[in-house]
Structure 1
Amino acid sequence: MKLSDRIRLIISENGLKQKEFAQSIQVTESYISKLLRDESGVSHSTATLIEERYGYSAGWILDGKEPKMSRKGRNASLSPVQRRVIADIEQMDDKDLAAVKAFIDTFNSYKKALGQEKK
């Protein structure tokens, strides 16, 4: 699997658009386009940032070495949806986080009222 395939897979598994992925790892969209066309390599620091944000092993990103998911990454056991939500939350300001927290509290109260709370 080529680097472009691995980057494409990361974007796909996390339900991202190319622009969203670029923003989340603080690179330009044109850089991601070059990666996807195999016109550029990925630096170790960028691979490490992807590992930290999405849980994919930097070694796997750089050269396809297994394991695909980082064992040391805090997000390694999370699903792609969970990693995406965490990535979005990490970019929010305190006002937005307060709104998300209020939604979660309301949602949990609703589930409890229906008898669907976690056991």
Structure 2
Amino acid sequence: MNLSDRIKIIISENSLKQKEFAKSINVTESYISKLLRGESGVSNSTATLIEELYGYSIDWILNGSEPKFSKKNNTKDFTPIQRKIISDIEQMDESDLIAVKAFIKSLDAYKRSFDKNEQ
């Protein structure tokens, strides 16, 4: 498995679009396209950022060496959708975070009212 295959796996397992993945690691979409075509490599700093955001080990990203997930990063225990949500939240500004918090509170209130109705 080559680097482009590993990048495709990261994008796929995290339910990302190339544009979203590029934005999350602060690179251009054209850079991601080059990676996917095997025309470019990944620097250590970019691999480190991918490890921090998505939990894949630097050695696996760069060389395909197992283990696939970093032992120092607990995101390996998250599902791909959980990792995607965390990545999205990390990119939000203050007003977006306030809105998400309000949504979570309203969802909790809804669940509690639903539980009371069942009793």
- Could you tell me the TM-score, scaled by structure 2's length? 0.93
Distance in 2 between residues matched to 1:100 and 1:15, nearest whole Å: 20
Counterpart in the other structure of 1:25: 25
Residue by residue, what CA displacement relative to the aligned partner does 1:57-98 show, whole Å, maximum 9, x if unpaired? 111000001111111114221111111101111111111100
Q: Which moved more, 1:71-80 or 1:4-13?
A: 71-80
Partner-residue secondary structure (3-state), 1:39: coil
What does 1:1-119 correspond to in 2, within 5 Å?
A: 1-115=1-115
**Count of residues in correspondence between the two structures:** 116
The structure whose residues are more often helix, as a share, is 2
Distance in 1 between residues matched to 2:87 and 2:51, nearest whole Å: 12
Structure 2 residue identity aligned to 1:13: E
Which ranges in structure 1 are unaligned for 5 or more consecutive residues? none
Distance in 1 between residues matched to 2:77 and 2:37, nearest whole Å: 30
Structure 2 residue identity aligned to 1:37: R
Distance in 1 between residues matched to 2:71 and 2:79, nearest whole Å: 14
How far residue 108 of structure 1 moved from its aligned partner, in angstroms, is: 1.1
Asked whether the equivalents of residues 69 and 76 of structure 1 are also in contact (C-alpha less than 8 Å), the reply is yes
Partner-residue secondary structure (3-state), 1:115: helix
- Could you tell me the TM-score, scaled by structure 1's length? 0.93
Distance in 2 between residues matched to 1:74 and 1:95, nearest whole Å: 27
Query: Once superposed, what is the RMSD of the aligned Cα atoms?
Result: 1.2
Distance in 1 between residues matched to 2:103 and 2:81, nearest whole Å: 18
Distance in 2 between residues matched to 1:85 and 1:94, nearest whole Å: 16
